[in-house]
Structure 1
Amino acid sequence: MREPNPEKLNELVGKLVNDVGVSLAGASILLGDRLGLYRAMADGKPVTPSDLAKKTKLHERYLREWLCGQAASGYVDYDSDKDTFSLSAEQAMALAEEASPAFFAGAFDIVQSAYLDEPKVADAFRTGNGVGWHEHSKCLFAGTERFFRPGYNANLVSSWIPALDGVEAKLKAGARVADVGCGHGASTIVMAKAYPKSTFFAFDYHKPSIERAKALAQDAGVGERITFAQASAKDFPAQDYDLVAFFDCLHDMGDPVGAGKRVRQTLGKDGTWMIVEPFACDNLKDNLNPVGQVYYHASTFICTPASLSQEVGLGLGAQAGERRLRQVATEAGFRRFRRATETPVNMIFEVRA
């Protein structure tokens, strides 16, 4: 057995203790989200466990333990003089207010799916087979929508579409738009609400997601202006689209080049392919940071297994980077490719023939 450096060992153990706490805190966030605890505290008023029990009709002793854990994690504030707990405005935005651009509780539905589906992924490691999107636990589908929706709400209409050459004017005047790999339709609904003169078509191979997207679109008042259909990225119907959008899904596809070729076939004259992908640099060393940590782990359990379950199985992964994405677009026959804009968690590309 090799002799460890005691200082480095202590540092690593300290990090692991922190990570165990963070991992357990994720389940606690799920619990608070499911039971409406954050929403019950969203007004910022200090509460005792007894107060929260009366508001939520839940058991006081359980609530005290949950509140203590939340305070230890920094997710709620604790006043030791009054023995009360409260949500700051920032904590409420992140954990209680689903319409907030900073809402983060939905991410832990994705984390839960990674734990639930670990045996399937472990088997894929042994066999080299994939794990299809549809083979994951249901919490992944809702969690993905809840995780990405705040970013779409905050950025899609305000900055991403305006960064594309001439696209915003077309959408305002009335354009034909395809949202491929739409999932629960969060991105499609945002666009449909913002551009009432345009017509939207949304496609996903996962039928339960399409059914859920239809319901959410009706709730949002745009159900009559979006045509949802079950279709893959390589066979969605051609309509001479002015814009074809792929939101956080190209890297999940087994044959992204084949999907790009289908986009070329479906675009109208001077049409645009918008690709939104997780933020990543081209070199691994530049992705060794908190954002890369999230995406590499998610890619291990979700994105790479999804790609390897399909034909070709290119396995781009969630940290493909601009260089590899450009290569995909070029091999699909597109000549113009540029990064239009970015956020700390996404890159937005404009691709044209």
Structure 2
Amino acid sequence: MALDMDKLNTFVGRFVGDLGATVHAGMVVIGEKLGLYKALAALPMTSAELAAKTSTDERYVREWLSSQASGGYVTYDEKTNKFSLTEEQAFTLANEDSPAYLPGAFELALGSLAAVPRITESFRTGAGMGWHEHNEGVFHGCEKFFRPGYAANLVTSWIPALDGVQQKLEEGAQVADVGCGKGASTILMAKAFPKSRFVGFDSHDQSIAGARDSAKRQGIGDSVNFEVAKAKVYPGKDYDFVAVFDCLHDMGDPVGAATHVLKSLRKDGTWMIVEPFANDQLKDNLNPVGRVYYSFSTLLCTPCSRSQEIGLCLGAQSGEARIRDVVTSAGFTRFRRAAETPFNIVYEARP
């Protein structure tokens, strides 16, 4: 069979783009950790000026700037030999409060890739890999990756889309954030609804320690607590509101977790389930967002579920039909899609 050279060249071009993006991820993490983006956001600089400003080595900085300019993450002015960030570049790379802050995604990616040797062996054995066994960059990157989306949507659109929940939170409610990680979602809600009381639960003790530190730094220790507990056994009952952010699909026994959520809720309580955006059919997920989530799911979500009891392995692209089946199998009688973004779907479940 003769090769179609146009198709071959198109595919090789895709490979070059992917290879550049892969190694570029490391460049973004370096730039974020060393404050290079934040410094560049202030004013245009040469490599020497940026190195002096950030107490880094000029030769390394020069090479880094060249890679960033090649990838379109930094702007280069050949007349002045200076580098800068456009408003859009600064918004996504230098402003941690931005809803489109990107560096955390790259830190999560690099941390996930550290597990490739072990996951490769898991393809042969079927063994799982617990969340706690991953590189530390996974935990930090995950919080940085998800926090901007939560900050942009949780209080302003997701909670208002739920039936009666915002009013309860404003008046004072008991809330459990299950699988809270380093506490970004819990803290956002606690700040927005000071009359309510929040408990964040996660099975990963290091993440809970980080959440406690973060709450203390932000001065909200009185309204939020963080405890180490698994989704199927977290303590407390008569919660007005339970939230699960981007982690139901990671659980080995999501039906068991859903059953426990139902038992922990008041009769008029609400469970909010935030999951990665996904359609029900594979053919409808074959797009850039699906590619990201299927890849993370291979490295993180599926091994995490496989490492636990049952090991249902929903995967990060499980879709609404499978989530509905999990929720209704646990005994919830009402389930609906309440909101969505290009990256998340928000479901509401009621007893």
Shift of 1:64: 1.2
Q: Which of residues 237, 240, 249 in structure 2 aligns to 1:239?
A: 237
Displacement, 1:241?
Answer: 0.3
Equivalent residue runs for 1:85-124 within 5 Å: 85-124=83-122
The aligned amino acid for 1:337 is: F
Counterpart of 2:300?
302
Partner Cα separation in structure 1 for residue 140 and residue 60 of structure 2: 27
Equivalent in 203, 209, 212 of residue 210 of structure 2 = 212
The answer on 1:141 being equivalent to 2:139 is yes
Given the alignment of the two structures, is residue 193 of structure 1 paired with residue 191 of structure 2, yes or no? yes
**Given residue 8 of structure 1, which amino acid in structure 2 is its aligned partner?**
K
Unaligned runs of 5+ in 1: none
Q: 332-341 or 217-226: which moved more? A: 217-226
The Cα offsets for residues 61-80 of structure 1, whole Å up to 9 and x where unpaired, read as 21111111101100011111
Contact 1:107 1:143 in 2 (8 A): yes
The reply on whether 1:178 has 2:201 as its aligned counterpart is no
Give yes or no for contact 1:247–1:275 (8 Å, CA) kept in 2.
yes
Aligned counterpart, 1:18: 17
How far has the Cα of 1:3 moved from its partner? Answer: 4.1
After TM superposition, what 4+ stretches of structure 1 lie above 4 angstroms from structure 2?
none
Q: Describe how 1:53-64 pairs up with structure 2 within 5 A.
A: 53-64=51-62
Listed one character per residue, the Cα deviations across residues 264-302 of structure 1 (whole Å, up to 9, x for unaligned) are 100012000000000001111111111111100000000
Which position in structure 2 is the counterpart of 1:6?
Answer: 5
The alpha-carbon deviation at position 13 of structure 1 amounts to 0.8
* Other-structure match for 1:326: 324
> Offset at 1:34?
1.2
Please state whether the residue corresponding to 1:4 is helix, strand or coil: coil
Q: What RMSD, in angstroms, separates the aligned Cα atoms of the two structures?
A: 0.9
Contact 1:238–1:267 (CA<8 Å) still a contact in 2? Answer: no
1:27-76 deviation digits (Å, cap 9, x = unpaired) = 11011111110111122x21111111221121112111111110110001
Q: Tell whether the 8 Å contact from 1:218 to 1:224 is kept in structure 2 after alignment.
A: no
Deviation at residue 239 of structure 1 after TM alignment: 2.2
Q: Deviations over 1:153-187 (max 9, x none)?
A: 11100000000000000000000000000000000
Q: Distance in 2 between matches of 1:331 and 1:56?
A: 55
What is the aligned residue count?
Answer: 351
User: SS where residue 108 of structure 2 aligns?
Assistant: helix
Partner-residue secondary structure (3-state), 2:348: strand
Name structure 2 gaps, 5 residues minimum: none
Q: TM-score, normalised by structure 1?
A: 0.98
Q: Could you tell me which amino acid in structure 2 is paired with residue 344 of structure 1?
A: P
Deviates more, 1:235-244 or 1:174-183: 235-244
Q: What is the letter of the counterpart of residue 228 of structure 1?
A: F
Partner in structure 2 of residue 277 of structure 1: 275
- Report the secondary structure of 2:101's partner residue: coil
| AA aligned opposite 1:65 | E
- Following superposition, the deviation at residue 114 of structure 1 comes to 2.1
Q: Is the Cα–Cα contact under 8 Å of residues 78 and 84 in structure 1 kept in the other structure? A: yes
| Alignment TM-score, normalising by the size of structure 2 | 0.98
- Work out whether residues 28 and 106 of structure 2, in 8 Å CA contact, stay in contact via their aligned partners in 1: yes
Moved more, 53-62 or 233-242: 53-62
Q: Distance in 1 between matches of 2:237 and 2:266?
A: 8
Q: Which residue of 2 aligns with 1:27?
A: 26
Residue 189 of structure 1: SS of its match in structure 2?
A: helix
The answer as to whether partners of 1:238 and 1:265 remain within 8 angstroms in 2 is no
Letter in 2 for 1:154: A
Contact 1:282 1:323 in 2 (8 A): yes
- Separation in structure 2 between the aligned mates of residue 286 and residue 75 of structure 1, nearest angstrom: 30
